Amino acid sequence: MPLGAFLPTRAFSKDPRAIRDWAMAVEELGYDYIDVPDHVLGVDRQSRPDFEGPYDISDAFHETFVTLGYLAAITERVRLRSAVLILPQRQTALVAKQAAEVDVLSGGRFDLGVGVGWNSVEYEALNEDWKTRGSHQTEQLEAMQRLWTNDVVNYNGKFHNFNGIGLNPRPIQQPIPIWFGGSADATLRRAVRYGAGWIPLGKPDVDAVSRLTALCGYLEAAGRDPDGFGIECWIRTTRRDPDSWARAANAWRDIGATDVTLYTSGTDIETVADQIDALRAFKERSENY
């Protein structure tokens, strides 16, 4: 079962050496991929007392594509995945270009994980429409796949108008694998149509089983083999407890997960040494389950 490490961006807010040492350790320990999160802006809770999101202006998030480019330069084997990029609040052609560049610089080791997000304030600040994010994302996926796989692109939709344009260089992977984060039924259907995998973002409970069952049904109806579709689970924690992490990973595996990611961002595991020690312990425990 492939193991992933979630970049603890909030612990490494202003130290590039910490990111470097952590990423190199991830690769040396034999992890299979690194997840890099995405948030462009944080919200000041005092200015917006009704805001109820899990992150705010005090939480540091490194810019996703810049960070992925940095990771591509300091690693050789481990795959790199955005998890998850809030696609509808970004310009489509620019994302296609940035994703293609990361794929080229990493030698074809990039997966584009996308979502529609939960933070309407961020959409507002980036001058994008919160209400149309789902339909916007669907069109973005179609446009990006054409940009990645064709020399010249003509595409006319509700949100995009491409006439006689193209990317150069285009990505090594044709196309770049897309993973989808989120739990809405519309997300599952988009994942079936465009995706290589799904990131549930929840717990291995009854709701997760129900969504996985629905996903398998959609895949079969579309003529796709569920066994060839990735399911990445996140082992989220508030403290260092490798045994409970391994039990959670095993529970996810029992209900159909194919990839498991240790998510230690925003915990009491803060130093680089402690983060690396947690990665080592999780890998050792996972191999025994």
In angstroms, the Cα distances linking 123 to 112, 119, 202 are 20, 7, 23
Nearest in space to 65 (alpha carbons), one of 94, 41, 89? 94
Tell me the pLDDT of the chain (289 aa) as tens digits.
899 999 998 888 888 999 999 999 999 999 999 999 999 999 999 999 999 999 999 999 999 999 999 999 999 999 999 999 999 999 999 999 999 999 999 999 999 999 999 999 999 999 999 999 999 999 999 999 999 999 999 999 999 999 999 999 999 999 999 999 999 999 999 999 999 999 998 889 999 999 999 999 999 999 999 999 999 999 987 677 888 888 999 999 999 999 999 998 777 787 899 999 999 999 998 876 5
What pLDDT sits at residue 289? 58
Give the helix/strand (H/E) hosting 74. Answer: helix 64-74
CATH topology of domain 3-287: TIM Barrel (3.20.20)
Q: Which residues contact 234 (CB under 8 A, 6 or more apart)?
A: 6, 199, 200, 201, 261, 263
What pLDDT sits at residue 242? 85
